[in-house]
Structure 1
Amino acid sequence: MMEQAVEQPDVGKEELASVTQIILAMIKVSKALRIYLPNNPVLIGFISELGTRMTVHLARYGELTLDVEQFVLRYHGAQVYENKAPKESLAGRLHADGIRTLFFDQGVEPAELVAFLGVVGFERPSSDDDVVTQLWERNLQHIGYLTEDDFSDPYLMREAEDPHQQRDALERIRQALVEHPPPAPRMIPKHLLMLNAEEEAWLRKAVDVEGRCNGLDDVIRILAAILGEVQEPELFADFTAILGNLTVNLVVAGDIAHAHQLARFLDRLQKLPITTPQQRQQLAAALAGILSASTVEVLKVALDSAEAGIDYVQLKELLLILGIPSLGAICELLGRVEKLKVRKLIVEVLVELGRGDPAVFEPFLNDPRWYLVRNVVLILSLIGTPAALKMILGLISHREPRIRREVLGFLERTGDAKAKTYLLKYLRDESSALRIKALQILTRERLPFALKPIVALAGGDDFQERPYEEKKEVFLALGELGQESVIPLLREQLMKRFWFQKGNEKESVQLAVLGLGRIRSRSALQLLEEARGQKKGGEVRSILDQAIASHMSRERNSAGTR
């Protein structure tokens, strides 16, 4: 397109390039209107680009005039667009409905360009009005056109042989309008417009309110008024379904404010004492159908992509109104949405919904999607009732390690002493990482009931097969929890001989030293000094020397603080 335009010598290259870029921007907006919602950032960016290019061109070169041929658009005779595909050709749709010239005047707004492309950018169904009729209905102030009928003017017929007849005729038509403008409107006598101060204030307020209203608000008010007054069962069911479908569309479009307004109306109408049981059932069904598997993903995209305009208070109230009947969809939304602020809000909603009866979440604990189960565990932990705790503890042996890790995290955070005993179950978990985490929690919190199971763990037949990092945590726990009571066990570990396996002997000494390092008494230092007397040189002797020095330093620091 650019190459074809630049070849024409009658117009400057920069001017032709500007027109060509405008046409390309129109095509992008036209295609984007078909596939994106109105609040999509991509579509908004394309519209902004088109508006900027059009404004700059009109300011620099004046009015933009395009001549329309069957599949071609021309600017001052230069071809700036061509598409011979009937269903895709912008020029083809204009030409087929009789439009032969387009005008874009200074002051054209992006909204006018979008309205124009909304008409000419799509192939119209045969039942729709033609392009000329639809453009006339929209009354676009800064976008004009001439049709085939306009060129039957005698000015054109008089100079049919002139190759520039069309352009000259257009100029004559415009000149005629300048010389013979339409008559001025008749002036209303001034005394008929006199208002007192009160009337003027009321009128200004009414104009202001009218200016802030939009069509959607009017539609919602009208439908709500009808539904609030209608008595016939069939009509009530029909208008309830209409309001329910409208709310679904608003949610999908990301218009949380209006969706919240409608859902709140349906909810209040459902709770009125004059509402019949059948009507309550219909209203409840409409509310339950607002969130579904088909709308959750679209809503997720809207919530994640919205930079502004989402009222989180209204979003929270909307989800609370939808309530338990929409619990599955709300949980699904929590599992999909990525924005942290929205996730936190949904968790708050679910905690509030389940506080009275945590059992409503029980069906989700067996869901194959681990992330959904993990989210439910978090919600139950925030509810914190005994019933919620019982449901969480039932997942300690869940097949998914990530779920077991979430439960372990809850046991670490909880202040329930009885719940802490369930940490011991993780000492036999199939995941070494979870076993280590459980040992660290038991050691850090100095839970005495853990000593006996950990001693049994250290003496088990499979202990030597465990990873070294896990063995370290076991002996650290033994020293911290057992203190002097485990010195005999640590002596045996420290003095153990491995005649032909020096590596095993080194590991055994290292583990014993870790346990002794947690014992806060002189008995541990004496045992280390005794072992140094028996171990002759090598790495083992060096390990003992460092452990003794560390103990002595700790004793000096302790004496200094006293």
Structure 2
Amino acid sequence: MTQETLQQEDTIGKEEHASVVQIIQTMVKTSKALRIYLPNNPVLIGFISELGTRMTVHLARYGELSLEVDPFALRCQGAKVYENTDPKESIASRLYADGIRALFFDQGVQSAELTAFLGIAGFDRLSHDDDIVTRLWERNLQHIGYLTEEDFREGAPAEDSGTSGDQREALERIRQALLEQPPPAPRMIPKHLLMLNADEEKWLQGALEAEGRCNGLDDVIGVLAATVAGTRDPELYRDFISMMETLAVTLLLGGDMGHALKLVRFLDRMRQRSGITEEQRAPLEAALAAVLSDATVQTLQVALDTTDARTGYGELKELLLILGLPALGPICELLGRVEKLKVRKLLIEVLVELGREDPAVFRPFLSDPRWYLVRNLVLILSLIGTPEALRMILGLTSNREARIRREVLGFLERTDDEKSKPYILKYLRDESSALRIKALQVLARERLPFALKPIVALAAADDFQERPFPERMAVCQSLGELGQERAIPMLRELLMKRYWFNKGNEKEAVQLALAGLARVNGSAVLPLLEEARSQKRGGELRELIDQAVSEARAAKAGRKR
């Protein structure tokens, strides 16, 4: 590449340059297809659709597309975007030979206009009188313009005439002059041409209603599906699958879940055909794997959280299940982003289904820094419920995030798996007092006998007095619930203990002992309380014990009935 070419390409961005090159390549491909196929051929229709899409996207992003015509090349802003030195095959050569020096494609250009242009410029002339300029003038394509060599001569100053270096400056002067001209007066259509008889009017009305009911996307999808199913050319097969992938992603980004699902269903059916070769299946699986990307996940998250499209939830679920395990990462990412509860529930159902056979697929996501995502994965694993899933949950009992440990503790509370219950004991040493209390309450409520010995050790520990009062209360209640009459000696010692110089500690000790004794159902509780009342002669402590005595007597009377 020469230094001059490098300097020219600096005038246009790389992305814009690549976009123009793709448009020209698609033009050439469509031009060749126009020579080979009939107008209703799916291959030709696919090429025309691709060209229209590329042109529309480019014009929306960069504005008008201007091309300068050289003898064997086309340039955009001075940068070469097409070259073919074969006069019989070169579009640039045909345009240049007929005097065209510049082309313009404006926003709003339709596929029909592009097809008409290629039908004129993409073929050799039928006769010397049938030049490209004349035929373009006759067709009067509204969004495709051109300038001829004569236009440049008239637009350039006398001293600049004939110099190719100032071609683009002359082009700007000509276009500016055209913009300043007043628009032409509308042509009057003879009245007799507008007259329709009754049958023609009825037919036209029916045609308009049918056109209104028709969805162009359904037609495009049908054409693409028919082409992919029927083509035997490997290159065309891959090209059309790539088109379907691009269209599916575009539809998802546009919020059209229904049509995106149609495309995904078709690709899924194709890959499940009997007799399909690995070479045929590979592009189908690659296309399905590419449907969910960072861009589509972000767009889906915003759409699902900001709209109340409940009717589309079923379509979303089916779409995700078809995409399957290859899309596990994006689906988990979507779960980590959405805020709407119903959407999270749907995603959890999908992930349970996908991970049922092999829950180990979720292992990489359990170390995600987002605690709320891991919390949902714990729920997913608990719903799967296999031994492997349970082992993965139990591995999170020492996770550094307290909210994740709380979720695991909730699972241990709910599970019917007796082998998992001893893991609750790990929470008695948890750094969070709230989780230690929760674990004590679960152990007491479920009356798990293996927990008594560790709780007794906890109550007898030297640092017991330093623990928060609500935690000590939970320890004593668990001790009474699990130990019953075996816990009375320890609770009696706590109840009778005197604190001569710290009445606050004595009150706490009485409260703790009474809380534990309230959980004991034996007959030895009432005599102990009456003994304690005789020693605590008055004040607030006496009131606490009196109340406990009354409750114990009521409980004893209830048992006798």
If the length of structure 1 is used for normalisation, what is the TM-score? Answer: 0.66
Whether the 8 Å contact between 1:513 and 1:547 is mirrored in structure 2 is yes
Contact 2:499 2:506 (C-alpha < 8 Å) held by counterparts: yes
Q: Distance in 2 between matches of 1:238 and 1:219?
A: 15
| CA 1:486–1:204: 2 relative to 1, 3 Å | farther
Equivalents in 1 of 2:219, 2:378: separation in Å?
44
Please tell me the residue identity of whatever aligns with 1:249.
T
C-alpha displacement of 1:294: 2.9
Which residue identity does 2:243 align to in structure 1? Answer: I
Inter-partner Cα distance in structure 2 for 1:320 and 1:121:
34
State the alpha-carbon separation in 2 of the partners of residues 441 and 152 from structure 1.
87
- The 5 Å alignment of 1:22-421 reads 124-127=63-66, 129=105, 182-185=190-193, 210-308=211-309, 310-421=311-422
- Once the two structures are superposed, residues 239-282 of structure 1 have per-residue CA deviations (whole angstroms, 9 ceiling, x without a partner) of 21221111111112221111111111111111112322022111
Equivalences for 1:447-458 in 2 at 5 Å? 447-458=448-459
- State the AA in 2 paired with 1:216: L
What secondary structure sits across from 2:191 in the alignment? Answer: coil
The CA distance in 2 between the partners of 1:336 and 1:132, in whole Å, is: 37
Deviation at 1:521, TM superposition (A): 2.5
Cross-structure match for 1:472:
473
Tell me the amino acid that sits aligned with residue 434 of structure 2: A
| CA displacement at 1:148 relative to structure 2 | 7.1
Once the two structures are superposed, what CA deviation does each residue of 1:437-488 show, in whole Å capped at 9, x if it has no partner?
Answer: 1111111222222111111111112211111001111111111111111111
In 1, are the aligned partners of 2:60 and 2:107 still within 8 Å (CA)?
Answer: no
Instruction: Summarize the Cα distance change of 1:241–1:133 in structure 2 as closer, same or farther, 3 Å threshold.
Output: closer
The answer for the alignment partner of 1:522 in structure 2 is: 523
Structure 1 residues 136 and 509, CA gap change in structure 2 (3 angstroms): farther
How far apart are residue 556 of structure 1 and its match?
3.4
Structure 2 CA distance for aligned equivalents of residues 123 and 387 of structure 1:
54
- Residue-by-residue CA offset, 1:285-319 (whole Å, 9 max, x unaligned): 11111112232111100111223375221111100
Between the aligned partners of 2:541 and 2:262, the Cα distance in structure 1 is 75
The corresponding residue for 1:551 is 552
Distance change in 2, residues 1:372/1:133 (3 Å):
closer
CA distance in 2, matches of 1:329, 1:181: 58
Residues 253 and 299, structure 1, Cα contact 8 Å, conserved in 2: no
Call closer, same or farther: CA 1:123–1:427 in 2, change over 3 Å.
closer
What CA distance in whole angstroms lies between the structure 2 residues aligned with 1:121 and 1:326? 31
The one-letter code of the counterpart of 2:390 is L
CA distance change for structure 1 residues 150 and 194 in 2, over 3 Å: closer, same or farther? closer
Rounded to whole Å, the distance in 1 between the matches of 2:229 and 2:269 is 11
Partner letter of residue 549 of structure 2? I
Q: Go from structure 1 to structure 2 and tell me whether the alpha carbon gap of 1:393 and 1:520 turns closer, same or farther (over 3 Å shift).
A: same
- Check conservation: 2:304, 2:343, Cα contact below 8 A: yes
User: What is the Cα deviation at residue 436 of structure 1?
Assistant: 0.7
In 1, Cα distance between equivalents of 2:108 and 2:270: 45
* Cα distance change of structure 1 residues 409 and 553 upon mapping to structure 2, 3 Å threshold: same
Distance 1:182 1:246, change over 3 A: same
For 1:6, the equivalent position in structure 2 comes to: none
Report the equivalent of 1:103. Answer: none
- Once the two structures are superposed, residues 368-427 of structure 1 have per-residue CA deviations (whole angstroms, 9 ceiling, x without a partner) of 222221121110001011111111001101111111111011111111122122111111
SS in 2 for 1:461: coil
| Aligned partners of 1:436 and 1:470 also within 8 Å | yes
Identity of aligned residues (%): 59
Aligned twin of 1:533: 534
Distance 2:553 2:423 in 1: 38
Residue of structure 2 equivalent to 1:438: 439
Measured in 2, the distance between the counterparts of 1:206 and 1:193 equals: 10
- With over 3 angstroms needed to count, the CA separation of the structure-2 counterparts of 1:256 and 1:130, relative to structure 1, is closer
Equivalent residue letter for 2:553 = M
Whether contact under 8 Å (1:253, 1:302) holds in the other structure is no
Could you report, residue by residue, the CA deviation over 1:540-562 in whole angstroms, capped at 9, with x for unpaired residues? 22211111122223333444xx2
Matches of 2:474 and 2:515, distance apart in 1: 9
CA 1:133–1:447: 2 relative to 1, 3 Å: closer
Letter in 2 for 1:182: P
1:181 deviates by: 7.4
Offset at residue 186 of structure 1 (A): 7.1
- Find the aligned partners of 1:534 and 1:132 in 2 and give their Cα distance: 98
Corresponding residue SS for 2:192: coil
Amino acid of the residue matched to residue 392 of structure 2?
A: M
Amino acid corresponding to residue 64 of structure 2 in structure 1: P
Amino acid at match of 2:264: A
Structure-2 residue corresponding to 1:27: none
In structure 2, distance between residues paired with 1:502 and 1:187 = 109
- Give RMSD over aligned pairs: 3.2
Which digits, 9 at most, give the CA deviation of each residue in 1:526-547, with x for residues without a partner?
1011111122323222211111
User: 2: CA distance between counterparts of 1:299 and 1:312?
Assistant: 12
The amino acid that maps onto 1:386 is: P
In structure 2, distance between residues paired with 1:454 and 1:490: 13
| Aligned equivalents of 1:409, 1:132: Cα separation in 2 | 59
Q: Is the 8 A contact 2:317 2:347 kept in 1?
A: yes
TM-score for both structures, normalised by structure 2: 0.66
Q: Secondary structure at the match of 1:500?
A: coil
* Structure 1 residue 210, shift from structure 2 partner: 4.8
SS at match of 2:438: helix
Letter in 2 for 1:183: K
**Where do 5+ consecutive residues of structure 2 fail to align?**
1-56, 67-103, 111-139, 144-178
Equivalent pair of 1:256/1:310 in contact (CA under 8 Å): no
Cα distance, 1:430–1:122 mapped onto 2, change above 3 Å: closer
- The match for 1:483 is 484
Letter in 1 for 2:267: L
**Aligned mates of 1:451, 1:518 — CA distance in 2:** 14
Give the 3-state SS of the residue equivalent to 1:273 in structure 2: coil
C-alpha distance in structure 2 between counterparts of 1:545 and 1:251, whole Å:
71
**Cα offset, 1:213, TM superposition:** 2.2
Please name the residue that 2:158 is paired with. Answer: none
